[in-house]
A and B are shown apart, each in its own frame.
Chain A
Amino acid sequence: GAVVSQHPSWVICKSGTSVKIECRSLDFQATTMFWYRQFPKQSLMLMATSNEGSKATYEQGVEKDKFLINHASLTLSTLTVTSAHPEDSSFYICSAKPLPGNTIYFGEGSWLTVV
């Protein structure tokens, strides 16, 4: 099946710094990638939809200036958490949708801890 790679798997950063998470589709091109966040005992919540070559579409309540998304190529999207704070500590996971097809493939996720 299609493979989506996410890096890093774990990251610890100091409060006030920025951290970048990469999401790569390894064997297909993805015009659309999705970024989710999951807090303990909650469901995966969509943060934003990343479209190659255009601005990301953010869900209500997600600060676009804090969570910068770049989808510069058909195989790579990045999420940068800027000026991270402890409340940003969470599990972040990306997914990608190849064309054509209905299946959406997920990365392994990234655990972010802000100290």
Chain B
Amino acid sequence: ILNVEQSPQSLHVQEGDSTNFTCSFPSSNFYALHWYRWETAKSPEALFVMTLNGDEKKKGRISATLNTKEGYSYLYIKGSQPEDSATYLCAPYTGTASKLTFGTGTRLQVTL
């Protein structure tokens, strides 16, 4: 079983703050890393699929970077808004496992 760690487990920020979370995963047999945003009572929303070392992807105020050699990815949110409140999940996809293995997520709460 892959060990996927996300930190922090939860985060409470004020509107307008920028924030970032970490996803750590084994670097061997890496194929891709998926980031999801999961709001309560909704489907997890795919944010990014990252494959290359040094990859940086951006979607609005959210961006992510990937380091496959050391096995980590950062997710950044610039100028957090209340609608960003959600659980952010990362899941590496490895060649050996041929499946997504999820971390427990980072729960973000943005207040006014």
Q: Which A residues lie at the B interface, using CB under 8 A?
A: 1, 4, 34, 36, 41-46, 49, 93, 95, 102-109
Task: Judge whether A44 and B89 touch: CB under 8 Å.
Answer: yes
A102-B49, A103-B49 known; A43 vs B103 contact (CB < 8 Å):
yes
Chain B residues with Cβ under 8 A from A109's Cβ?
Answer: 43
Interface string of B35-65 (1 = CB under 8 A from A): 0100001111110010100000000000000
* The 8 A-B residue pairs with the shortest CB-CB distance in the complex, in nearest-first order: A44-B102, A106-B44, A43-B102, A43-B104, A102-B49, A106-B43, A103-B46, A108-B43
Q: Which residues of B contact A (CB under 8 A)?
A: 4, 32, 34, 36, 41-46, 49, 51, 89, 91, 99-105
Q: Are A1's CB and B105's CB within 8 A? A: no
Provide the bound-state CA to CA distance between A102 and B93, in Å. Answer: 10
CB-based contact A106/B99 at 8 Å: no
Which chain A residues lie closer than 8 Å to B91 at the CB level? 44
Decide: B46 and A1 in contact? CB cutoff 8 A: yes
What would be 6 A-B contacts, judged by CB atoms less than 8 Å apart?
A: A43-B102, A43-B103, A43-B104, A43-B105, A95-B100, A102-B49
Nearest-neighbor residue (CB-CB) of B89 within chain A: A44
Question: Looking across the interface, which residue of chain B has its beta carbon closest to that of A42?
Answer: B104
- What separation, in Å, do the CA atoms of A45 and B101 have in the docked complex? 7
A34-B99, A43-B4 known; A108 vs B34 contact (CB < 8 Å): no
Cα distance A103–B35 when bound, in Å?
A: 10
In the complex the two chains form, is A49's CB within 8 Å of B41's CB? no
Q: Is the CB of B99 within 8 A of A46?
A: yes
> What is the chain A residue whose CB lies nearest that of B97?
A46
Contact A104 B43 (CB under 8 A): no
Query: Which of chain A's residues have a CB closer than 8 A to the CB of B51?
Result: 102
Instruction: Give CA–CA (A43, B42) in the complex, Å.
Output: 16
Bound-state Cα–Cα, A43 to B23, Å: 13
